[in-house]
Amino acid sequence: MNASAIIRTENISKAYGKTTVLKNIDLSVMAGEFTAVMGPSGSGKSTLMNVLSTIDRFTGGDVWLEGQSLLALDKKELRRFRQERMGFIFQEYNLLDTLTVKENILLPLSLRKVKAGELNGKLMPIVQALNIADLLDKYPSELSGGQKQRTACARAIITQPAIVFADEPTGALDSRSATQLLEELTSLNGLFGTTLLMVTHDVYAASYCKRVIFLRDGAIVNELYAGEQSQQAFYDRILETQSLLGGKLR
């Protein structure tokens, strides 16, 4: 296994009863990649994310996270691995209304009993990169959708996880807020080397990534790399591939 691979899967499958949702998927996600997973409804993209993030168990094959086989971990070890090495960004933010922005972001560290003197040093670089340093004393009810999602992003990476999983992070945002979030995710990826795996149906969102994986009927059917091309050129390639694969991947 390549030492820089955060995730590697070998022949993984997932079935619910007689229905097979994932079919023998081989996949590697390298450290520092910003990767999108696209596919039509029912293609298995959410199931794939749930399997890779240990939320759901796979039926066949194996998954390695940072070189650790998930088959070798029991439920308690999987939960600890998920809490310590993964971050999550959801479409609906999942912020606690009774906590300030600062308290929401620092909650994962507080649960780990990180010393108070260390918290500010971990907090400020992230909130500055996400342009929410002036919102720390506000409550979620006082924030726009974009501000809530950037707060959720800060919470996801405050623990310096090996990988952050983002499930349709722009799905509830207007176009301006979505663009701002994607630009800041790109910045986080560049500044901190954060590995990001994003499920999205949005070609525009996917065009910010370095790599796009296309799923259909539970299998990987294509993938694209941005390389040195412009975002517009990559957008056009994603759109063309989507069209060749049968229309909108929603």
**Residue with the two structure tokens 């940072």:** 66
Q: Which tens digit of pLDDT belongs to each residue from 169-217?
A: 888 888 998 999 899 899 888 888 889 999 998 999 999 999 999 999 9
d(CA 86, CA 99): 22
Over residues 32-45, mean pLDDT: 91
Residue 150, Cβ density class (10 Å: 0-12 exposed, 13-18 middle, ≥19 buried)? buried
Task: Tokens 């007689």: give the residue.
Answer: 18
Most confident of 110-114, 136-140, 144-148: 136-140
What number does CATH give the domain 34-57+74-246? 3.40.50.300
What's the confidence (pLDDT) of residue 250?
46
For position 120, what pLDDT does the model report? 80
Per-residue DSSP letter, 141: G
The 10 Å CB-count burial string (b at 16+, else e) for 48-71 is bbbbbbbebebeebebbbeeeebe
Mean pLDDT taken over the chain: 89
Residue 2 has a pLDDT of 44
What is the rounded CA–CA span in Å between residue 230 and residue 13? Answer: 35
Cα–Cα distance between 219 and 45 in angstroms, integer? 9
Residue 83's pLDDT is what? 83
pLDDT at residue 248 in the model: 52
- In angstroms, the CA 52 to CA 88 distance is 12
Confidence (pLDDT) at 113: 79
Least confident segment among 18-27, 110-119, 188-197: 110-119
Domain coordinates of the chain in residue numbers?
34-57+74-246
- For 58-83, write each residue's pLDDT tens digit: 999 999 988 889 888 888 888 888 88
Half-sphere exposure of 4 (CA within 13 A, CB side): 7
pLDDT tier for residue 247 given thresholds of 50, 70 and 90: low
What integer pLDDT is reported at residue 94 of this predicted model? 86
Phi first, then psi: what are they for 195, rounded to 5°?
A: -85, 125
Residue 1 predicted with pLDDT over 60? no
Instruction: Name the H helices within 86-144.
Output: 101-111, 116-129
Q: How confident is the model at residue 122 (pLDDT cuts 50, 70, 90)?
A: confident
Strands of the 60-65 sheet, one edge to the other: 19-30, 5-16, 60-65, 68-69
Q: Give me 134's structure tokens.
A: 């002036």
Please tell me the predicted confidence (pLDDT) of residue 26: 95
- Angle, vertex CA 122, rays to CA 120 and CA 125, nearest 5: 95
C-alpha span between 96 and 103 (Å, rounded): 9
**pLDDT for res 92:** 82
